[in-house]
Structure 1
Amino acid sequence: MSTELRDRFFALSTGQAPADEVARYRAEVDATDTEPATTLDGLAISWHPTARFKAVRFIDAERIDEGVRDQFARPSEPAPHLAAVFVDPRELSFRTFENIVPLDRWFADAPLELELSEPVELTKDAYAATLRLPDAGRVRLEGLDALNLYVPPLNAATRGGERFIFHSALLAEALTQAMSKSMPKPLLDGFSHVNPVFRCNRFEPGDSNFHRHRDTPYYDAARGHISRYTVLLYLTGGSGEPALDLTGGTAVEDIASFTCVVFDQRYEHEGAPFRDGRKVFLRTELIFSEDPEVTHDPEIGALFSKACYLTGESVFAPELTRHADAYYNQVAAAHWSGLTRAPAREPYVHKQFRGVHFVANGYDFWFTKSDKLSLAECAAITLLDYFNCKLGETAFRDLCASAVIEAEDDTWIPAFLNDKDKDKDKDSAGAPAVAPLDKSTLFPESELTDDVCCPFHNFGRFDPTRFDEIVDLNERAQSFAKAHIMPAPILMLGEDAVLDPEKFVIRGNQIHVLGKESLTPVNFAACWNSGGVPGNYIDVAATVGAAHFLVPPIVFSETNDCYHLQFDFFRNTWMVKHQQATVPVPKISSLAELDLDELEEGASEPWMDAVGPSLVNGGSGKRPTPWWADSSPLVDELYDYLSDYEYEHFDHDYEDDEDDEDEEEGKAGT
């Protein structure tokens, strides 16, 4: 049935099926509830649609766990490296709103010797030119439409048509060279490259227009890059009413295929579908070195944070889409002409999370003091909410009861929160929504080791918690887990979120969220005999989700009854990083349930098997590893903590060598 649901999805996606058949299919999907097949980029993914997993994404199939990879469809025959996955839209955050499809493989063997004809000036700071390229390259560009990678964007109701977003450094590099040779010299002052992220847009006759808007400029503070010009490459030709309208500039009614239009991003613009055929075009931008005269307005950053936050909230409240679009357009205009007056009424989202009421708009977060919340708890809840972190298998926003409230200002919020706090369920009082945790309790001290040889020679009285090599491996595993868990300001223990108060440092009116620390070297010992290997005895004590955040300081103010936290996660221009990882905590267990036959066949190593590859940095590979361990990045990292001094003085005879086999056997039996 799951395979049928998967295959019928793509069969019905052509848009040719009768409406009643589509309705029956949707009812079947809504009645299907299965567990995810695996996770990717923090998102749970399924290989077929269900009531929960409804948003389709296209990704490089090699990124999917090999054990389940074959279950995922490859719906684009011309691009077999792409697999279709289904995600829960409620889990999306600003990092995963868009599906950017990797398509360098599509262009890898295509001739991309691109040339632009002499550009024609359409109006001030707007040009049109014809793109010339080999026939095979032309066919490859035209074939983008046939890949059928279109997915509905979150703002589908306001943009018209269909689109997908892809990344191709090869196409961008070819366009960069063509632009550098053909565009007017004044336009190229400070030009760096063409953005390798492209949007492929498709409109059929009768589709709605892409509403009038400005393109939000790309900005990268770390590299000092900023976009100034939008690039439209029309893969099909036709006539529209008009096909492209640059407000205050010019309107273009007829456009030939492979026309390239470049215009200043100050222009507000709109485009209508072609009258008699499909309209397909690519959109990207020209990236420049940052103008030293660029200034920064914190209010622009605040608006952009609100727009991103409301985009995510629109999954729960579709009415927020229009507000998010309005903020995006306001931000785009403000980059060139300053902020305009905000709408008379603005949206706020009232939320309740495990008895805690708060109000948010994506930049401002309000909490009542009557909840007896600390600032660290307020900051933790805000981080969980903004990044839509997962607690167990559930996204944070899905754990909140929420309601949209429109108001002219925020003066109503303190009284509103206090009233909600008085009315809240008494059963929820006293149980903190985000409790503090002493993380050291996850890592108990080792037992004192005994001097026994091995399980085989001490059958019946062997204690794995006191055997030196097992204790040694457990301590290494603890150090590995600590490196990921101890620096994390927030941990997820199943469905519970806990915080480390020491990672929230308050200075003046700012809350600093501390990040990762360096690892501490660990020594190791040697000696073993039959009865399994140490890895068999190291089990998983707990699975902990560690949320690491690289965020700017959180500004706060307070009144007698309310905390008001303010964030600009993007700092007006740059985007912060955050990482959420699942970390298994080690413990020593018994091998009572394993027999000798299982050990000879290679018994499982629970903790080592549970460590995901994303947690492993890998060792240098130059230092010795124990005889019982197969070489792997995890083993290299666990046994790569010796200092250079310790390695120089280490007993190199421990390394197995054909010439020293007898000597090693003698040591093992001593």
Structure 2
Amino acid sequence: MDQPSTKRKRQLSPDIQDNPLQKRDQWEEVSCAETEKRTEQVSRGFLGPCAKWCTLLDDGTYTIDETIIRNHLTLETRNDPRLIRDIVSGYAMGGAISPLIFEHASDEDRESVWYRSLPYLEGLIADGDVGRERFRDLSQKRKWIVAVGVRDLHLAAWKDHADEREEDILHGMVEIIEQPIEAASIDGMQVSCCPTVSHKVLRLIEDLDQKIDVQNVPFFAQILEVPRLFAVYMDPLELSYHNFENIVPLDRWMEAHGGDLKLSLTPPKQPSFFHDVLTCTLNGQSASLLKELSSLDLYTKPLNKDTRGGQRFIFHSTLLSKALTRAIHNSSILANLAGGSLASTFEFVNYVFRCNRFSPGDTRFTNHLDTPYYDSQRSHVSKYTLLIYLSSGTGNPALRVDTVDMHEIEEFTCVLFDQRLHHEGQPFLSRDKVFLRTELIFRDDTLVHDSRIAPLFSTACYLTGQDVFGEELGRYAHACFERANSLHWALEQNASDPAEAQEPLYLHKTFRNAQFITNGYDYYFKRTTDPWTSMAPADCAILAVLDYLNCKITTRSFRTLCETKPLRAKLSSTADIWPLFDPDDKQIPSTSSRPAISRLTPADITPLIRTHPNEPFTPRPDPSAHPDDDPESYPPCCPFHCWQTFDAWRDPDVRTDYRKCWKYTRTRLFGAPLVILGHEVFINESQILIQGDKIYILRDAALGLDASRGAGFGSAGSNNQNKDDNSAPLPRPRLPSLNFAACWADCLPSITITVDGEVQTPELLIPPIMFHEFEDGWHLVLDLFRNDWMVAVDEDKVVPLPVITNDIPEEGYVGEFWDRVEVGSDGVREMEEDGDGDGDDGWGDFVWPDIDEGEGGSEEGSGGAGSDSDSDVGASSVSSVTI
């Protein structure tokens, strides 16, 4: 029996996973005759197609312009000239060498060349809708080849190496592909190997080859060798507060280039006596390493590119943070910041860095305030920004901090300034402007909470994730960020402040039969008398959480399932919001046969329970059997003694254990506050506690947590308020007693029970949701940025569904179902029964179909099962379970 696929993938070495040579035969199905034909062509001097920026020579050698093409083959494969010739000629495919663009090819060339060549892609685009249909009709293999071609076009355009024709083809193909060829799930995000209509945002993922199906790895381009970074493309509608920024870990890169960083700072200068701005120079043998770091091909345009300009990448490095922290402690900088009053409270340099690059002619970085780092638990806050310039040049001005202008900046100049100061930057006039940005963190026990900040900051984050390509949302989000940042420092904005002058922006959303209005902090739900659209506060809370966190409904993010339109409205009171809702007769009709959110009932679980196999059991042949051997007992006792005739579906011990597996699953499902079955959303209202003006979404009751053990937010009363069976605590596992005279002494019946599927039960560890009830509806406040709460979301949490299998694994293997749910610790697992196992726990009886008919006669065949009180055999041949 196979282990879960994720375990198999991690056992493969990196060399095997992304080795195009080893993938070639299974992917291209190369025959010996084709190989001989190619060898003959090479011997005659006919080299066939060759990728742009590469050359195949008559003597069999090749050249590659590695200033454009990345080569991340392993050391072993890099020394294989035949492999690289195959790659640059399109004979083999992989992601370790890219971008490869084939300008010239014909349909007589190999599929791996023709279907990603510019002539073929250009033809698809020229044929319009016919070309779109031709692409849709391609086999999966050929679609993958097309995707690789589009991927390489984007990688070339990303680094400004694509010409106008190639960029036109890229844009046209993105429209044709529309959806990922086969989306892979990483950290809750569906990603594609190439850009598509739905997946446009480039992300860099570390060790992708350890996180997706190994067969798909060669179609994703590798961008960096240490750490192993791969390019993926994600849907911007999947952006949420926890994944706005792509933070790349670079400590491994630092270690590979020396590790122990040596940095120092010269005595600071103060350009203006009236402003808290200092400049100094970065020295040390490791300073040049930062220039090398800034040359990495990791730059992308920022989300709010209209206000930021240029390109940047964000990285995490504890090593660089520690080196700069030591350099500041060893300098006189702290004695000159704020007159030396902050020297004793300095903690460290932030370990998250932004590497920015502006080319001449780029949009300027508009006047703004930096968002401060804040950790209330440790009383840490950033108070000074640190800029490290890695190139020299002249701007007009290059940097302006308040009224301090810096026109000429030398290489390795460091600028430190108070984060209460507005600042802006212009590109250098004649060369690239490259600099690192981070901040100095201090301890401050006197910080005061300002209630105006949370709504602005939450709204800004929410709108940024709603539509990264919407200019109106982007401008308003930027204005909210600026207003929030000014309030951090008790600064009042001027009268022209966009966040104050404009009418507030809200989004009106319709999810199936439910509509709500929100700005990402305030959520409004209108009361209705229609039974299909009416909701209770519990429904409102779940919808608000699903929307803000952009949780997945099966494979689609919540926001992609909503109809959304922006609203501008200045509310003098809550009463002004209700007229903004669509009237009942104008609501968008729902295609769902259910309300937006339903209550989970036993009837929803029953169809998931399988009580009969997909195919009737047939005795297994035993080629080693001898005519004189004793016949197997009937009914068969166990797979060890009766391998030929043992049918797990008919065995009473297996049926008993199967019932225990389903008892576990049912308890988990009814103990979770949120359950997603297919495309439907269910809640267990007993797990959503309303006390006063707060709504608590409780943790999974089936986890066995109570208040005394720290169950989490809202845990008090979570297992005591409701005594019905649906919220009963999970039975504690115990070791079964071993009967050494029984057939199952060496293994358990659970080896025949595996996982049939999974049900989504996202775990939402969030603070209480404030709500206010009005005659017309409800107003909920979702403040996930309260710093006295730790917010966590596990979208990938699932509950497995058991099923019996006749594919018996090797002796001693623990059944996959119990292994998946990790009940017990020694490999022998069993759930404790309640009462006599006859339905006293409220679970009821399984009603088994008559699967005993067949060879041997139904009467004789039912003898074993008939004595099992949990396995009453019914007359029906369909699955039927009473719970």
Q: Shared topology, TM-score over 0.5?
A: yes
Deviations 1:261-307 (A, max 9, x none): 11111011001111111111111111112x22211012211111111
Q: Residue 298 of structure 2 aligns with which residue?
A: 149
In 1, distance between residues paired with 2:176 and 2:776?
A: 46
* Per-residue CA distance 1:152-190 (angstroms, 9 max, x = gap): 222112211001111111111111111122122324231
Q: Which has the larger radius of gyration?
A: 2
Answer yes or no: is the 8 Å Cα contact 2:239–2:466 preserved in 1: no
Which deviations, in whole Å up to 9, do the C-alpha atoms of 1:315-344 show, x marking residues without a partner?
374320000000000000000115658234
2:197 is equivalent to residue 85 of structure 1:
no
User: Secondary structure of the equivalent of 2:427?
Assistant: coil
Give 1:16 deviation, angstroms: 3.3
Shift of 1:457: 3.8
Cα 1:480–1:588 change in 2 (3 A) is closer
Q: 1:65, CA displacement in angstroms?
A: 3.0
Question: Which residue does 1:389 correspond to in 2?
Answer: 551
Distance 1:401 1:24 in 2: 31
Q: Retained in 2: the 8 A contact 1:209–1:271?
A: yes
CA distance in 2, matches of 1:6, 1:427: 37
1:401 alignment partner AA: E
2:414 matches 1:251: no
Alpha-carbon shift at residue 462 of structure 1 (Å): 4.1
1:481-519 C-alpha deviation (Å, 9 max, x unpaired) = 966x55532222121111121222111111112124544
Q: Distance in 2 between matches of 1:490 and 1:184?
A: 51
Aligned residue-pair number: 609
Residue in 2 aligned with 1:329?
A: 482
Q: Is the 8 A contact 2:512 2:590 kept in 1?
A: no
Aligned position for 2:180: 34
* Alpha-carbon contact 2:307-2:365 (below 8 Å) kept: yes
| Distance (whole Å) between structure 2 residues aligned to residue 125 and residue 480 of structure 1 | 62
Which of 508, 514, 527 is the aligned partner of 1:356? 514
Q: Which residue does the alignment assign to 1:21?
A: 166
Equivalence map 1:118-197=2 (5 Å): 118-123=267-272, 124-134=275-285, 137-182=286-331, 183-185=333-335, 186=340, 187-197=342-352
Q: Distance in 1 between matches of 2:830 and 2:651?
A: 20
CA positional deviation for 1:589: 1.9
Root-mean-square deviation (CA, aligned residues, Å) is: 3.4
* Equivalence for 1:3: 148
- Give 1:431 deviation, angstroms: 3.2
**Matched ranges for 1:230-379 at <5 A:** 230-248=385-403, 250-289=404-443, 291-315=444-468, 317-337=470-490, 340=493, 342-370=500-528, 371-379=533-541
User: Partners of 2:211 and 2:646 in 1: how far apart?
Assistant: 45
Aligned to 2:120: none
Q: Please say which of residues 408-417 and 218-227 is displaced more in the overlay.
A: 408-417
Distance 1:465 1:434, change over 3 A: farther
Task: Call closer, same or farther: CA 1:266–1:573 in 2, change over 3 Å.
Answer: farther
State the partner residue of 2:694: 510
Q: 1:55 to 1:558 in 2, by over 3 A?
A: same
DSSP-derived class of the 1:76 partner: strand
The one-letter code of the counterpart of 2:279 is A
Q: 1:67 aligns with which of 201, 206, 214?
A: 214
1:652 counterpart residue number: none
- What is the rounded CA distance, in whole Å, between the counterparts of 2:211 and 2:751 in structure 1? 27
SS state of the match for residue 761, structure 2? strand
Aligned twin of 1:537? 752
CA contact (8 A) 1:129 1:261 kept: yes
Q: Which residue of 1 aligns with 2:374?
A: 219
Distance 1:220 1:19 in 2: 48
CA contact (8 A) 1:127 1:262 kept: yes
Query: C-alpha separation between the residues in 1 aligned to 2:203 and 2:510?
Result: 31
1:522 matches 2:671: no
**Residue 779 of structure 2 is aligned to residue 564 of structure 1:** yes
**SS where residue 583 of structure 2 aligns?**
helix
The answer for the alignment partner of 1:658 in structure 2 is: none
2: distance between equivalents of 1:253 and 1:604?
71
Shift of residue 476 of structure 1? 6.2
Q: Is the 8 A contact 2:346 2:440 kept in 1?
A: yes
Three-state SS of the structure 2 residue aligned to 1:120 is coil
Determine if contact 1:357/1:420 at 8 Å carries over to the other structure.
no
Change (3 A) 1:164 1:446: closer
The aligned residue for residue 660 of structure 1 is none
Residue 88 of structure 2 corresponds to: none
Q: Can you list the C-alpha shifts for 1:566-614, whole angstroms capped at 9, x where unaligned?
A: 12110268662222124242323241xx4x8xx56999977579x5xxx
**Separation (CA, whole Å) in 2 of partners of 1:37 and 1:428:** 25
Query: Residue by residue, what CA displacement relative to the aligned partner does 1:48-90 show, whole Å, maximum 9, x if unpaired?
Result: 3233222111121155236247325454356461111221111
Find the residue that maps to 2:478 and give its secondary structure: helix
TM-score, structure 2 as length reference = 0.64
**Distance in 2 of aligned mates of 1:523 and 1:13:** 58
In the TM superposition, residue 376 of structure 1 has moved relative to its aligned partner by 0.3
Q: Distance in 1 between matches of 2:804 and 2:538?
A: 36
Q: Which moved more, 1:37-46 or 1:526-535?
A: 526-535
Does the 8 Å contact 1:481/1:585 carry over to 2?
no
Q: Identify the residue that residue 653 of structure 1 maps to in structure 2.
A: none
Residue in 2 that maps onto 1:495: 679
Q: Distance in 1 between matches of 2:639 and 2:589?
A: 55
- Counterparts of 1:583-594 in structure 2, within 5 Å, are 583-591=798-806, 594=807
Structure 1, 388-397 or 51-60: larger mean CA deviation: 51-60
Q: TM-score, normalised by structure 1?
A: 0.83
Give yes or no for contact 2:658–2:803 (8 Å, CA) kept in 1: no
> How big is each residue's C-alpha offset from its partner over 1:14-66, in whole Å with a ceiling of 9 and x where there is no partner?
21322332021121122113344421110012223233222111121155236
More displaced, 430-439 or 331-340?
430-439
Distance 1:427 1:382, change over 3 A: closer
Please show how residues 599-614 of structure 1 align to structure 2 within 5 Å.
607=817, 611=820
The one of the two structures with greater contact order (alpha-carbon pairs below 8 A, sep at least 6) is 1
Q: 1:453 to 1:512 in 2, by over 3 A?
A: same
Q: Unpaired runs of 5+ in structure 2?
A: 1-145, 494-498, 612-633, 705-729, 833-883
The CA distance in 2 between the partners of 1:117 and 1:273, in whole Å, is 26
Q: Following TM superposition, by how much is the alpha carbon of 1:398 offset from its aligned partner in structure 2, in angstroms?
A: 0.6
Asked whether 1:203 is paired with 2:358, we answer yes
CA distance in 1, matches of 2:602, 2:489: 49
CA distances 1:86-131 after superposition (whole Å, capped 9, x unpaired): 2111111111111001111111142411101111123432211111
2:800 is paired with a residue whose SS is: strand
Q: Is the 8 A contact 1:141 1:235 kept in 2?
A: yes
1:453: Cα distance to partner?
A: 3.8
Q: Which has the higher strand share?
A: 1
Partner of 2:587: 424
Match of 1:433 in 2: 596
* Aligned counterpart in structure 1 of residue 791 of structure 2, from 567, 570, 576: 576
Look up the equivalent residue of 1:131 and give its one-letter code: L
Tell me how far apart the structure 1 counterparts of residues 748 and 559 of structure 2 sit (CA, whole Å). Answer: 44
CA deviations on 1:350-409 (whole Å, 9 max, x unpaired) are 111102111110111111111421000000100010001110111111100110111222
Retained in 2: the 8 A contact 1:30–1:50? yes
The 3-state SS of whatever aligns with 1:403 is strand
Residue 121 of structure 1: SS of its match in structure 2? coil
Q: Indicate the residue corresponding to 1:51 in structure 2.
A: 197
Partner Cα separation in structure 1 for residue 663 and residue 318 of structure 2: 41
Q: How many angstroms apart in 2 are the aligned matches of 1:226 and 1:440?
A: 52
2:696 alignment partner AA = H
Q: Distance in 1 between matches of 2:190 and 2:783?
A: 28
SS at match of 1:222: coil
